[in-house]
Every structure is written in structure tokens, then in C-alpha cells.
Amino acid sequence: MNLRGVWAIYHYEMSRFFRTLMQSFLSPVISTSLYFVVFGAAIGSRIDEVEGVSYGAFIVPGLVMLSVITQAIANASFGIYFPKFIGTIYELLSAPVNFLEIVIGYVGAAATKALFIGVVILGTATLFVDLQVEHPVAMVAFLLLTCISFALLGFIIGIWAGNFEQLQLVPLLVVTPLIFLGGSFYSISMLPPVWQTITLFNPVVYLISGFRWAFFGMADVPVGLSLLAIAGFTGLCLAVIWWIFRTGWRLRS
């Protein structure tokens, strides 16, 4: 493996992150803090507890997942789309690096940024509520898997997108609604039975449920099923990326 090539891609992407620190870091932290204040204060004043957990603490895993997923997708999609936009993608494809090394560089950087933001938001949440983590190893595992899997999805979106409008299309119209409807701010057990069944078709439910279990020991779906879902999603994204580089779809045209 060309580790120097991987490091060059990774270092360039991380440097871009720190050059745009206001946009890349402060903006999601401030917006998530506002979510926390609004939902925690407005709704929390009417809902004391959810399954024995204070509402303010209950929404923390959902808020972290909301930021991590959106940031992983945004950073990975823009990271690979910009070389396509300015034409330097051909230099990258002709460089002595294979597709796996390219993916590791871009996806690794996007996952690192998302993880960094998620940790900071988690730390910010402790300023508002008392937060304890029952399964810290599982929490880190879910967080890492989520960062990596959605960075892979963002990488695919960046290759697929033909313009900046398409770059925002899937995150805004598909991913964000799925996160809000995936139990970020409520337990699906609070829904009518019919809607509980429908919600189980939302893949984000399994991520948020597993991550919340790591905090409070409670989950809407079995933890094993959550791990299976995220592993399957990661494998599917890797298979799609392999096919893209094998065929040159949207890369050489």
C-alpha cells in the first residue's frame, strides 16, 4: 500500500478543514447547541422522562448522530467532488495510488472530521445535562462505524453529483428527513403500532437505537440487529465504490 499517497490525500483534506474552521467546525456545533436548547427547553418542559431517562439526556445521542451523519456526508462528498469540478481528478486517477488508497484518504479524512465534531458536541452536551455512558466501548464503536459508513455514502454522492445542487440533493431531501424520523428526539415506542412498524424500515433507526443503548442501556431495536444493519450498509457502500472505480462511472466521462 502506498502510505505516502494515502497520507498526502488525508493531510490535504484535513488542512482544508482547519482552513475553513468557522464553517466546518463552529457552524455545526452552534446549530446543534441550538437544537439542544430548543428541544431540551421547549419539549423537555412537557416531557420529564422517556423510559426513565430525562428528556434532555435522551436526545443527546440523536443530536450527536444528526451532526456526525450530516458532517461525514458533507465532507466526503465535497472532498471528492471538488477535484472533479476543477479537473484534477484525472491527475489523481493517473497517480501511483489504487482506488482503495484513494478511498482511505478521502473517507478517512471525512470520518475524522465527523468524529471530531461529534466528540465536541458530546462534550458540549455535558454542559446542559448530566450524562453517563453505560457502555463506552460500544459507544465508540457505533460512533466510528457511523462516521466511516456515512463518509463512504458521501464519497458515492460526490462521485455521482454533476453540480453543486445535486451535491446537496440527497443529504437535504433524503438523509436529513430520515434522521429526524429515525427517533432522534423520541422513542419509536411512543408512536402508534402502525407507525412503529413503518419506522422500522428507516435504516437510521438502527444506528440511533444502538448508539442510545450505549448510553442508557435501552434500545428500540435489538443491539445485534443495529450492528448487523450498519455492517451491511458499510459493505454495500464499499461494493458500490469498488464498482465505480472498476467501471469508471462518472469519473472518466
Predicted confidence (pLDDT) at residue 97 exceeds the cutoff of 80? yes
Q: Is 148 exposed, middle or buried (0-12, 13-18, 19+ CB in 10 A)?
A: buried
Q: What confidence tier does 41 reach under pLDDT thresholds 50, 70, 90?
A: low
**Do the beta carbons of residue 94 and residue 125 sit within 8 Å?**
no
Predicted confidence (pLDDT) at residue 219 exceeds the cutoff of 80? yes
Q: What confidence tier does 126 reach under pLDDT thresholds 50, 70, 90?
A: confident
**Who contacts 136 (Cβ-Cβ below 8 Å, separation ≥6)?**
214
Write down the pLDDT at residue 47: 74
Whole-angstrom Cα distance, residue 240 to residue 246?
10
Whole-angstrom Cα distance, residue 111 to residue 245?
21
pLDDT, tens digit, 9 for 90 and up, residues 132-152: 899 999 999 999 999 999 999
Locus of grid cell 442510545: 212
pLDDT, tens digit, 9 for 90 and up, residues 155-184: 999 999 989 889 999 999 999 999 989 988
**Do the beta carbons of residue 239 and residue 155 sit within 8 Å?**
no
Phi-psi region of 52 (alpha: psi -120 to 50; beta: other; left: phi over 0): left
Whole-angstrom Cα distance, residue 233 to residue 207?
11
Task: Give the residue from 29, 58, 64 showing the smallest Cα distance to 132.
Answer: 58
Instruction: Give the HSE-up count for residue 148: Cα atoms under 13 Å, Cβ half-sphere.
Output: 18
